[in-house]
Structure 1
Amino acid sequence: MIIPIEQLPPETLTAIIEAFVLREGTDYGADEATFDDKIEHVRMQLNNGTAVLVYSELHESVDIVPANQFESD
């Protein structure tokens, strides 16, 4: 289930993004990105719709996934 990011308090969304950035081994190319840059990059993807925030009822967890990979079964 997609969670509309507008329905979350800003501090909750930030905490979810921070947790995602900390656990994901993201490759930013030859240049190293700061933690804050990574957070803003993920926030931008959520805002422009290329990534979505999803809740898994099965795992009772929240994750951020690319919008084109999300399947609502």
Structure 2
Amino acid sequence: MKRQKRDKSERAYAKGYQTGLTGRANDNCPHDEMNQRQAWLNGWRDGWSDHVEGYTGVSGIHKMNHHTL
């Protein structure tokens, strides 16, 4: 049985979230395609917001698991 790949937009969101959560700038977006770029930026915004609010390390595990599933 083959493993089904996640949607590219979903993966872009997860990577953007991880980038924002670590406090890196949003100009690091690697996508040129509009839908993936928008998903990455949405993830970055959510990750950046969690970074600013202090949801890093152990306090952010429950949020990160939710965003990266």
Q: Give TM class, smaller chain.
A: 0.3 to 0.5
Q: Hey, which of these two has a bigger chunk of helix by percent? A: 2
TM-score (norm 1): 0.31
Q: Hey, which of these two has a bigger chunk of strand by percent? A: 1
TM-score (norm 2): 0.33
